[in-house]
Amino acid sequence: MQVQVKPEIQRLETAIAASQNYLLSLQHEQGYWWAALESNVSITAEAVLVHKIWGSDGPRPLHKVEPYLRQQQRSHGGWELYYGDGGELSVSVEAYMALKLLGVPADDPAMVQARRFILHRGGISQTRIFTKLHLALIGCYEWQGLPSLPAWVMLLPDFSPVNIYEMSSWARGSTVPLLVVMDRKPIFPLAHPINLDELYAEGRANAKFELPRNHDWTDIFLACDSLFKIAEMTQLVPFREEGIRAAERWVIERQEATGDWGGIIPAMLNSLLCLKALDYKLSDPVVERGLRAVDHFALESTDQYWMQPCISPVWDTALVIRALAESGLNREHPALVKAGQWLLEKQILDYGDWSIKNKRGEPGGWAFEFENRFYPDVDDTAVVVMALAEIVLPDGSAKKTAMERAVRWIQGMQCRPGGWAAFDVDNDQEWLNAIPYGDLKAMIDPNTADVTARVLEMIGRTEITTGSASVERAIAYLLQEQEPEGCWFGRWGVNYIYGTSGVLAALSVLEPARFTVPISRGAQWLVRCQNSDGGWGETCQSYNDPSLKGQGESTASQTAWALIGLLAAGEATGTYATEALDRGIQYLLDHQAEEGTWNEDYFTGTGFPGHFYLKYHLYQQHFPLTALARYQAWQQQQTP
């Protein structure tokens, strides 16, 4: 006798199978998953600028950048920092600059519209430091309006309270090459020079090229900057050339064999600008490798060409493995085995910049990208360990060794407050964000709730411990970080939905009976945030306006995060928010396309809170699958 399956259960099973099949179809031959990582258009605009400066644009399809920028321009005339933000000034100025570099005349209707938007927002004088820096390179802004960065900071020892290793890894990789650029203050000649005088709201002749005052204690940095500038003008900068040479050596030493620097486009473009300022030639192998590496970050279609800020194959692969394994794919499935073996090969066994402040640690982490031996990160490493734990590999001892080595490395990366940061230990000198150069407020890498939660979830799921004292310190840190509403901040995903989901997933696998109250408060907050359509969403603006915590149009990825958090909370407390869970799952089922995919326009990844956001194109695929799988497992437990 055939048992009839309920339509709801059958629909869930169908959705899971369709999602699995879609993800399996995306796997690359070598075993990894990797999808586009989207940001705002400034990354592409800056790449155009660097190619024009080097004269390396000839063999590259930069003509396709123009239709890309035109397509990204919004009806108000500007370009966005993230989808739906209403346009952002600095991004718009850089896009306008790129279009001019590509030969688009100022009287083109798109340029007229963009100019109107830019001038209404205050023009070039109101842009961020990095926009002004890029304009200064081609004579469209005055160097005197930029902060001075004395190259002698390269010579400060790593035990000094001020040294380059007190900056976050991304700030360090981008700043060291700029020490050379900002010392030399070049104005690079272009084959076809441009000016942007029309973007000064007050007129270029009336512009004041000076650093803005905050009228608080941070203005002391302006006084320091004045002294630095006097020293530069009078040729009295101490150890100037020694600092320049040290920066040059640092840049050369940190180039990967593939040509990358730090795995991020800003560090790569800045390093190429550094080499140009030092009169390297286009034919130099270091430059050739660097330019080819930039090419690898580009995406090209029939009529468009644009740059990714970074690439995420290790991160994508680990998260897809977890989703597929949890959703019922055989844990010895060839696709999972191939992916797991690829991950094992990517473990980093070299000492990187992390070892400057963690002198007793041994290598064993994973990075975000294909190659990035200087900058493995804790978040990726924890997720890779959990992914490997989900699958069966032919050489189980090699897997076990890799996982144990990774956990030991993570243990050594724990910060003083008890949590974990992404790339470094105790990289938390908040004052660095107050220097004029640090206007993106991303100069440091302190421990955060979401990364800490990932480590604790790894410990709970793999039973490879970092030690009870270490775990207790981390738990205490997480409990302290809970917001009054019951949620947790999300540093690397948008935002409190991301952070809360991660913490609930962690606490639920670590003696959950001890944490019933904070878990319940987090779950109740998620329930309160659910939208009327059954989904969840949160705007990037919640980083600037805390009153927007958990508020925004529903997305597949953020709905999945909320469901993952609620299911974890239910497992921990024994009390499930059944109605919220059912409605959330219904939202995912209703919004899944026939081929098993979900689509979302909003950016749900975070680069620098308030200043730089990301859209991971696989987030909307594997996170919903994970949520559906965990819901299905819960439903099966309820069935007699």
Strand locations in 4-141, DSSP E? 37-38
CB 326 within 8 A of CB 340: no
Rg of the chain taking only CA atoms, in angstroms: 25
Q: Which of 411, 403, 405, 402 is nearest to 456 (CA)?
A: 411
H/E stretch holding 236 reads none
Residue with tokens 């409990």: 479
Q: Which of 569, 543, 380 is nearest to 458 (CA)?
A: 380
Task: Read off the amino acid at residue 141.
Answer: Y
Helical pair 285-296 and 42-54, crossing angle rounded to 10 deg: 150
CB 554 within 8 A of CB 532: no
Sign of the Cα torsion 460, 465, 466, 469 reads positive
Encoding tokens for residue 319? 């998260």
Annotated catalytic residue, options 183, 379, 424, 426: 379
Encoding tokens for residue 97? 């600059």
Encoding tokens for residue 561? 């995060």
Could you tell me which residues come within 8 angstroms of residue 68 by beta carbon, excluding any fewer than 6 positions away? 41, 44, 304, 305, 306
Residue with tokens 């239709």: 67
CA atoms within 13 A on the CB side of 468: 1
Helical pair 334-345 and 378-390, crossing angle rounded to 10 deg: 140
Backbone angles phi, psi at 208, to 5 degrees: -105, 115
What is the SS3 assignment for 582?
Answer: helix
Strand locations in 27-68, DSSP E? 37-38
Torsion of CA 270, 275, 278, 283, to 10 degrees: -150
Q: Which of 33, 122, 131 is nearest to 81 (CA)?
A: 131
Euclidean distance between CA atoms 385 and 322, whole angstroms = 10
Task: Read off the amino acid at residue 441.
Answer: K
Could you tell me which residues come within 8 angstroms of residue 295 by beta carbon, excluding any fewer than 6 positions away? 60
582 catalytic residue (yes or no): no
CB 44 within 8 A of CB 306: yes
| CA distance readout (Å), 488 to 87, 343, 451, 481, 596 | 28, 30, 12, 7, 31
Euclidean distance between CA atoms 178 and 248, whole angstroms = 10
Q: Which of 273, 268, 285, 274 is nearest to 244 (CA)?
A: 274
Q: Which of 313, 314, 304, 312 is nearest to 607 (CA)?
A: 312
Encoding tokens for residue 209? 């090229």
Residue with tokens 């031959």: 29
Looking at residue 107, the DSSP 8-state letter turns out to be T
Euclidean distance between CA atoms 449 and 215, whole angstroms = 32
Q: Which of 525, 610, 507, 617 is nearest to 562 (CA)?
A: 525
What is the SS3 assignment for 283?
Answer: coil
Catalytic site positions: 379
